[in-house]
Amino acid sequence: MQYASLVAPGMLVFTVGLIVPMILGLRYSLTSWNGFTRELPWVGLVNYVRILHDPYALDAWWFTIKFTFWNTIIQNFFALLFAVVLDTELKGRKVYRTILFVPCLVSPVIVGFVWLRMFSDVLPAINAALGTNINFLLFGSAHTVLSGLLIANNWQWIGYWMLIYLAALQSIPKELYEAAHVDGASWLRRFFSITIPMLAPAFTICIVGITIGSLKVYELIVSSTEGGPGRASTSIVYQIYNTAISGRQYGYGSALSMTLVLVLLIVAVLQVSALRKREVQL
């Protein structure tokens, strides 16, 4: 019983700060509460039906899905590429690792602002210096704003996932490569027959981590595009903020939150089943 008292403080805070909000969020999502009234007017599933007809919500989801899709591909590709290159005997590899990693230590709010300045002042100056005419004003148009945010976000996170791939690469037993080498397997063959299969757990972690990280994107956007131009870069969390905190539609905003929770739970279930499947194979 004494042991239970060691679990209690953490559990109490966790319950008040996360579990109660989750349950209440579900309850609010079934009401049309505006935050002012004492009673919560019950409306059933009306808010959820409304999402399906709300262009603002659908556009926000569509932006978030595109942002997540491209991040997952770009970040995994470059993180693995850089990890493989920096896992060799390359001179100065520790310095390069640190340089690639450091951006993830910066708050996303700051990253957004820094890239706003990069695109508007710094990179155009490179144009002027080189006499080229590349369009760097990526945050200025609805067609390019996604690319701009992807550049900023990938600049920040590639190094983080690179370190995870590096740690996974270094945990592969060297004997496997030596045996394959003796058998005359080419570098490419060794990469696809040993490295890739041995990296499977790291792949799962990185894909899920990048997906979850991208689905919750908000801070990067607040300080760079503010969801614009127009609504072109409004993510789902940003839309929840606009709906609820600025628009005081707590009921409808909670329903939007619940759609995000649902998507995150689906990602989690896919992750667990992917890990289970591999355990069976091993």
Which 34-63 positions form the footprint of other proteins (CB under 8 A)? 35
Minimum distance from residue 114 beta carbon to other proteins (Å): 5
Find the binder of other proteins among 51, 146, 195, 216 (CB under 8 A).
216
Residue 89 in tokens: 């005997």
Is 173 among the residues that bind other proteins (CB under 8 A)? Answer: no
SS3 282: coil
Cα angle value 172/174/179 (rounded, 5°): 120
Minimum distance from residue 138 beta carbon to other proteins (Å): 14
What's the number of CA atoms in the CB half-sphere (13 Å) around residue 77? Answer: 7
Site for other proteins in 225-254 (CB under 8 A): 237, 240-241, 244-245, 250, 253-254
The answer to whether 252 touches 32, Cβ cutoff 8 Å, is yes
Find the helix packing angle between 200-215 and 250-281, rounded to 10°.
180
Site for other proteins in 62-91 (CB under 8 A): 82, 85-86, 88, 90-91
User: What would the x/- binding string for other proteins be over residues 187 to 206, using CB under 8 A?
Assistant: -------------xxx-xxx
Minimum distance from residue 249 beta carbon to other proteins (Å): 10
User: Among 139, 140, 138, 154, which residue's Cα sits nearest to residue 217?
Assistant: 154
Is 148 among the residues that bind other proteins (CB under 8 A)? Answer: no
